[in-house]
Amino acid sequence: MPLTRKILLIVGVLAILVGLVWMGQGSGYFPYPKSSFMIDQRPWIWWGLLLAVAGGIAVTVSRRRR
């Protein structure tokens, strides 16, 4: 696997994880840290979903056979 594809895979996985955290904080299911401005703020659910989908696309592109 070329270096570019490895980097794209790592960035994609990190984007999925961060997106899930944003969704959890925005919905109030992951209220950590307590001082976070994102807790119970609905827009962060959508931003997290968007980031997770972009990460999924990056993972899919990195895993395609050439």
pTM here is 0.88
The 10s digit of each residue's pLDDT in 11-55 is: 999 999 999 999 999 998 888 888 888 888 999 999 999 999 999
Please write down the long-range contacts of 6-12, taking CB distance under 8 Å and 24 or more positions apart. 6/62, 8/58, 8/59, 8/61, 8/62, 9/58, 9/59, 9/62, 9/63, 11/55, 11/58, 12/55, 12/56, 12/57, 12/58, 12/59, 12/60, 12/61, 12/62
**Structural domain range at position 52:** 3-63
Which amino acid is located at 6 in the chain?
A: K
Number of domains composing the chain: 1
